[in-house]
Amino acid sequence: MGVKGLQYFMEHCCPESCVTVNLRDMARRHLSSDNTTSPTLVVDGMACLRHWYTCKDWVCGGQWKEYMSILSRWIERFTSAGIKLVFFFDGVVEEKKRAEWVKRRRRVNGEVSEVFRYIKLHGEQPGKHLFCLPSGLATFTCFALRSLDQKVFCSVQEADYEIACYARRHGCMGILGQDSDFIIYDSSPYLSVAKLHLDHLTTVVYDQQRLCRAIGLYVSQLPLLACLLGNDVVPKERMHTIRNNAMAVYRKKNVGAPQELMVFALSEFISSLCGREEKDTGLIPQSLNLPAADRFLLEKGIRSYLLPGQDTLQQDDTPPPTSGLGFEKYVSPEILKACKEQHVSAEGFMVYNVVCEGLLECSNSLEDEEEDELPPQAVIYKPCRQHIYGLLLLNGDDDNGAEEPPAIREWFVYPGNPLKEPHMVQPVPVNFPCERPSLHVLWFGSGPDVSTLRLTSFFSIFDCQEFAEWYGVVEDSLLAALCLVTHIVLQVPSLCSEDVNAYLSQAVCLSLKSPQELQQIKLPFLCTRAVQLGSLYVRGLSHLLGANCASGCPLPSTAFMPWHSFDGRLFHSKYLLAHSATEENVLLDNHQPSLSLFIQLRKKLLEVCKTRNRVLQSRPRPNRLDQSHRTQYRDGHRARISGVDDNWRARGAATAGGWRERGQSSGGNGREAAQQMQGHRRGERGLYFHSHSRPPAIDVKMSSQPDQPHSRRHPSRGRYQLAPRWGQPPGHGAQAHPNREHRGAED
């Protein structure tokens, strides 16, 4: 966001204020000075996402293994130069910026629609002019950086402000980002990530002092200049008259001055208003005649730039008050404290926003507004969010006088939602098979019984309690994938067995593929339905992460990271194969251990669906592109993998997708091997890192016979209504039906 036109002005009208610097040299100078701190850059993570995600494929859901490699190399360039990195990410959207947030989300919705139209017309990914970041990139990047041993913070107020505060307090070498607000803060030098040349570690610093000398202002007057130009607090149109008057006066003295010189005009205007005694205060000059409302808004805008201790208008370093909706009555002070600590350290997800703010938001996803069978992800995952809210707010140590907590305000972007106001979503109790535990027990308790309660809580949120038996039997990431795919099947009537085969086969095969192999996957064409299913899966992983945090972390957060269970290009490949009547062994790359694991996962999924009266049917989706392309792709894939069978078998004997086969020997006693593997698993932890024992693992017999082929009948396809069809999604407990337009409370 930032200050309107300021960075353009510095680059084009005041180039002497834009200085190319070498970060290695800056680090050396920092060490040679009197600084007692190591050279540190504070990185605006949100501004870097587009520069980090340079993977060729983005529309299929994200190339997450490749992305991890990119992040690792990026960090290595700085650490090899002796530069420490500290990352900040937006943790909240402040209400003063909600209108701008909504405006951007609507604009991106239009761009997403263009993406789908392009794919339908050309059958391929559009160019950079329609580039969209993969769903959930910011959320999972926080965890990716932590896994790479980086310090990561998630903000509880305006992230720019927290970044500037941190850099000033710790004497950091600079701020790396792409926001002109950093020119205004009196903090560390602002370095451009857009102009960063990683190979040489050079970039451009927007020099605040040189700017002030060029325009004739003090640093303390820059906040007023920023507000008159227009920023996130003061809308540009509110100061339209002042800017026009300033420009008119400036043009009388400088005939023919272009509009780009507005910064010079306003600077001259500010200087003419300010007396000597006002120049160092940053206050609004009394001679500036403004209506009371505009003066109040200007003062608010100036305050937003003042860091602790900078003058009489300073704001302290405490975060703003929470929503004030009374959510604190439903959790203990210990829970509130733990929520904030986990949020700030980027170890948690969702719980802080729900418990402390009473609000949750989700940005744009790749969803086709013309798709009439797949509901938006906001609708599909609403039941599990309601259970998460219920677990957090209805599981206190007492009943609070049987008073129900307020509804959670949801700002979720999806086709048909005008974003005029938040949807009010009520918490729903989690259906425990035993007595409902308190949240305090789930988060801070210890012992095997509590471990079992945590697992039960997590799987109950998705109505998949049966999967708790498989904990310790399959890899955590595969167990999470199984839970997620089952939930999608239960919530989306149009999902078919081919879709499930694509989801599960790519999750099983992913562990055997390197980032380079994933990049080399050839796709003959793209299918918009597969694009939306890929984005839906990644959004689901974030819901799994939120449910895990709410349940006291029965599973490690790594289980929900997409680089362990999803790759967009691999999924798209499996989707096209599955819908081309490909044999299962070919779908699983002729790798027998993977095939056995895939069959068992699918069998368990079908068992759970059967108990919920959900019959999964076969419905191959012929693509609008020529059938010969699909047949050639299927046959070509079969031919490719047939030449590498031996290689797969050699590599897969040790990895095999992660299945812990009980009682089956591979050079030793199978049960002993399984027990030994259990001993090497990381210790379980609760949300607050209390060590406690794991629940006993349950043996699952592996079948050597594949399931019977699914029926090839094609049931009649119902049709969802187009927008505003999703404006009022079904309430909790009601599955969306293809022939029904839901009319109820907005979510």
3 state DSSP class of 43 = strand
Quick check: 738 pLDDT over 90?
A: no
Which of 292, 327, 305 lies closest to 232, judged by CA? Answer: 305
Distances 260 to 12, 255, 263, 532, 563 between C-alpha atoms, Å: 9, 14, 7, 42, 46
> pLDDT value at position 37?
81
Q: Which amino acid is at 626?
A: D
Quick check: 650 pLDDT over 60?
A: no
> pLDDT value at position 658?
38
134 exposed, middle or buried (CB, 10 Å; 0-12, 13-18, 19+)?
Answer: buried
3-class SS shares of the chain: helix, strand, coil, % to 5: 50, 5, 45
478 vs 279 pLDDT, higher one: 478
Which residues are within 8 A (CB) of 47 and not within 5 positions of it... i.e. 6 or more apart?
177, 178, 179, 193
Q: Which two tokens stand for residue 205?
A: 């610093």
Which of 694, 669, 705 lies closest to 470, judged by CA? Answer: 694
Q: Could you report the per-residue pLDDT of 321-377, keeping only the tens digit for each?
A: 444 455 777 889 999 999 999 999 999 999 999 999 899 999 999 999 999 999 999
> pLDDT value at position 631?
52
Quick check: 464 pLDDT over 80?
A: yes
pLDDT category, 255, cuts 50, 70, 90? confident
Which of 37, 140, 142, 38 lies closest to 87, judged by CA? Answer: 142
78 vs 397 pLDDT, higher one: 78
> pLDDT value at position 396?
60
Quick check: 653 pLDDT over 80?
A: no
**What is the rounded distance in angstroms from the CA atom of residue 452 to the CA atom of residue 462?**
16
> pLDDT value at position 326?
58
Which of 253, 306, 251 lies closest to 281, judged by CA? Answer: 306
> pLDDT value at position 258?
76
Q: Could you report the per-residue pLDDT of 68-120, keeping only the tens digit for each?
A: 999 999 999 999 999 999 999 999 998 888 988 999 999 999 999 999 999 99
> What is the mean predicted confidence (pLDDT) over 371-387?
96
- Average model confidence (pLDDT) for the chain? 83
Quick check: 676 pLDDT over 80?
A: no
Quick check: 641 pLDDT over 70?
A: no
Quick check: 713 pLDDT over 80?
A: no
